[in-house]
Amino acid sequence: MLKRTQDRKTANLSTPNGKASKIANAFSLPAGREYSCPSATDFCNSICYAGKLERLYKGFRAVVLHNWDTLRDLDFDGMVAELSAMINDFRAECDKHNAPKAFRIHADGDFFNMTYAFAWAQIISDNADIQFWVYTRVADVADMFNRAQLSNLAFYFSGDPDNVNEAKALESKGIRIAMVDKTFNMAKESFKGVRCPEQNGAIAIISANGGACATCGLCVNGRNNVLFSTTKK
């Protein structure tokens, strides 16, 4: 069975002391072109925070590799069955704790092929009571989600200096962009958008109200382009 992952920033419910995630509300795969990130740019590879977490925490690395080994050779129906079982467990845990049903797809990793992307589209469509959000560097996946018009999905194409022209072409189709650069001002030169308030120091990464993403809601609900800075400046 697939394993969910925890991330303080994306937490939909925090522990009573406001310092950790109570519910695992994310799913992750191993990062890198040799695994789940076929469209990773050189810039992306150089700054990948999730890849760094994999190297730092053996337990996290074991989880994402387990998920990779479980999914990579399955057909569409097999993927849907595995993902559905995981999401059903997530819903039950949210109901138990009366927690908001917000789920981050790929705190680590990306869509490694279109069959896998279509499987997620099916899961999202089948679970209208859950709000999903995801970032991807795979242009074909962003196009597919844009055509699907899933009301409970907020998705972003992940832009950086290496793929900025591709990102601009997708923005012209109405697709939201999550742009990362060395500074916020450099990111803003490419796209108009809102600075990530956690990176900008406006809100804590986690509090008694939940993780920064849940507290902010910008990306979770797809309200605007969002800007990230590798230096937080």
Q: What is the pLDDT of residues 80-102, one digit of tens each?
A: 999 999 999 999 999 999 999 99
Q: pLDDT digit string (tens) for 136-170?
A: 999 999 999 999 999 999 999 999 999 999 999 99
Give, as one character, the DSSP assignment of residue 173.
T
Angle CA 18–22–25, to nearest 5: 120
Q: pLDDT digit string (tens) for 40-54?
A: 999 999 999 888 888
Token pair of 72, please?
A: 């990579």
Identify the pLDDT of residue 50: 83
Q: Are 38 and 138 in contact (CB under 8 A)?
A: yes
Find all residues with CB under 8 Å of 58, minimum gap 6, and list them: none
Identify the pLDDT of residue 193: 97
Q: Are 173 and 155 in contact (CB under 8 A)?
A: no
Q: pLDDT digit string (tens) for 122-143?
A: 999 999 999 999 999 999 999 9
> How many angstroms from the chain centroid is the CA of residue 195?
17
Is the overall model pTM greater than 0.85, yes or no? yes
